[in-house]
Amino acid sequence: MMENAVYSVISPEGCAGILWRDGTKAPAAAEALKITAGDLLKLGAIDAVVKEPAGGAQKNHKAACTAVRKAVVAALKELTKLPVDALVEKRYAKLRAMGNFYA
């Protein structure tokens, strides 16, 4: 995931509107949703955070694409070292663990 990207099934404003009937509480909703690349990495929902060029990916598309390409190639290089059965099991375990949180 690009470092400045966010991923969510609902906008923070929409979430705040549903939970508190107050769209101005969007910052609190965004924090609760854990939608940033750093949050999602800590939660195990993504495998890596790809550093963006200065000013963000929108400022330098070529550099952003190069960074994504390098990250994907590196990940694929590691994944191809695993036997297919182990790869499938690892992916299955990761997906099954999502949503399980213990305090």
Task: Say if residues 16 and 22 touch (Cβ distance below 8 Å).
Answer: yes
- Whole-number Å distance between alpha carbons of 68 and 52: 9
- The mean per-residue pLDDT over the stretch 8-31 comes to 95
Q: What is the C-alpha separation between 22 and 50, in angstroms, rounded? A: 34
Q: What does the domain layout of the chain look like in residue ranges?
A: 1-49, 52-98
In this prediction, residue 102 has a pLDDT band, given cuts at 50, 70 and 90, of low
Q: What is the C-alpha to C-alpha distance for residues 16 and 32, in angstroms, rounded to an integer?
A: 10
Q: What is the pLDDT of residues 62-101, one digit of tens each?
A: 999 999 999 999 999 999 999 999 999 999 998 888 877 6
